[in-house]
Structure 1
Amino acid sequence: MSIDVHTSHQGLSKFHQLLADQLRHEFTASQQYVALAAWFDGRDLPRLAGFFYRQALEERDHAMMILRFLLDSGVPAPVPGTDAVQNDFDTPRDPVALALRQERVVTDQFHRLAATAREEHDYTGEQFLQWFLKEQVEEVATMSTLLTVMDRANGDLFAVETFVARDLSPGGAAETGAPETAGPAVS
């Protein structure tokens, strides 16, 4: 049984409407990253697969941060379905290029959210978005770098795998200042 949860946002501020829509976008981004990871995993490229599996968890956590904010703000937050994701690609470059395009779209979405919060004098909402705006700079930079490395490798996927293992492996400092998630964070 499938239920379409494109709920009416009647009575919500424009900012809260956009934020509720962003919840769907973040869950969709998570699913898209699972699809990218599975594509690389199916081609025995474990470092690229692992990188995109981690990205999927991160996007899921972003959705859960938005859900927590909406719930804490007393805004109805039905959990949406996701939009369609792409599963088939012609070359290993294509999934990375899609990831970069996706991150640029998400960046534009967060800019629109921040502008709307400011226009509506929703200072709490604007403050909430600051972490996401900073995070998007990092996400776009990471995907841009990965695409550049993919292009420079000129088909040498072992070189790309080595780069991912060396420079994009998990670890380092925990994210400070990140909003709280609804339920436990997984990334």
Structure 2
Amino acid sequence: MSILHAKKKSGSKFLELLQVQIRNEFNAHQQYVALAAWFDAQDLPRLASHFYRQALEERNHAMMIVQYLLDQDIKVTIPGADEVKNEFTTARELVVLALEQERQVTEDIILLAKTARDENDYVGEQFLQWFLKEQVEEVSSMTSLLAVVDRAGDNLFHVEDFLARESVGDNGRDPLAPRAAGGSL
């Protein structure tokens, strides 16, 4: 066993944080499903579809981390998910929650990258570069959606029209994305 491999298996803060991030990504998945279901119940199919797609992206992110750990011969622990918020009164609340969630994930990924660098885990740091780029896109996309929701006011059909007309997000089709365990959905 190499020295680096032995270090990775024992006492790596980076690997501990990666395990936590798997949970964070699955929690984000579940929260996005709740948002999508709320929009679905409001007969807003474009908003529902947007958030169902976001949910799949978060699931895929978790599975990318799982695959990375498997590729590094690191034991993976699959966590349960936390409770999510299901009760909302306005569409704006949902988009604000999504934006806050993406900002938090960005901070989490930055901490992961910093920790990998601090531990001289250059492979781990390189793995996170795609996630950093992805988070810039996610925050930007959600910020734009919030602006559209605010401009639409009470008429969410304007938001539906916007989503039908514009390409929001990358639809999870980035050829440079890390491989997801079991394949991306």
What TM-score do you get using the length of structure 1 for normalisation? 0.91
Q: Distance in 2 between matches of 1:173 and 1:64?
A: 13
| Unmatched segments (≥5 aa) in structure 1 | 1-9
- In the alignment, which residue of structure 2 is the partner of 1:119? 118
Q: Distance in 2 between matches of 1:96 and 1:11?
A: 40
CA deviations over 1:105-140 (Å, ceiling 9, x no partner): 000000000000000000000000000000000000
Q: Is the 8 A contact 1:51 1:168 kept in 2?
A: no
Q: Distance in 2 between matches of 1:173 and 1:58?
A: 6
- The 1:62–1:92 alpha-carbon spacing in structure 2 relative to 1, beyond 3 Å, is same
CA deviations over 1:145-176 (Å, ceiling 9, x no partner): 00000001111101010001111468789302
For 1:20, what is the secondary structure of its paired residue? helix
Q: CA deviation at 1:84?
A: 1.4
Q: Distance in 2 between matches of 1:147 and 1:94?
A: 10
Q: CA RMSD in A?
A: 1.6
| Unmatched segments (≥5 aa) in structure 2 | 1-8
- In the alignment, which residue of structure 1 is the partner of 2:6? none
For 2:102, what is the secondary structure of its paired residue? helix
| Structure with the bigger percentage of helix | 2
Q: Distance in 2 between matches of 1:82 and 1:173?
A: 22
CA deviations over 1:69-104 (Å, ceiling 9, x no partner): 011111111110111111111111100000000000
Q: Does residue 29 of structure 1 match 2:28?
A: yes
The correspondence of residues 23-62 of structure 1 with structure 2, limited to 5 A, is: 23-62=22-61
Q: Distance in 2 between matches of 1:58 and 1:38?
A: 16
How many pairs were matched up? 177
Instruction: Give aligned-pair identity as a percent.
Output: 58
Q: CA deviation at 1:142?
A: 0.3
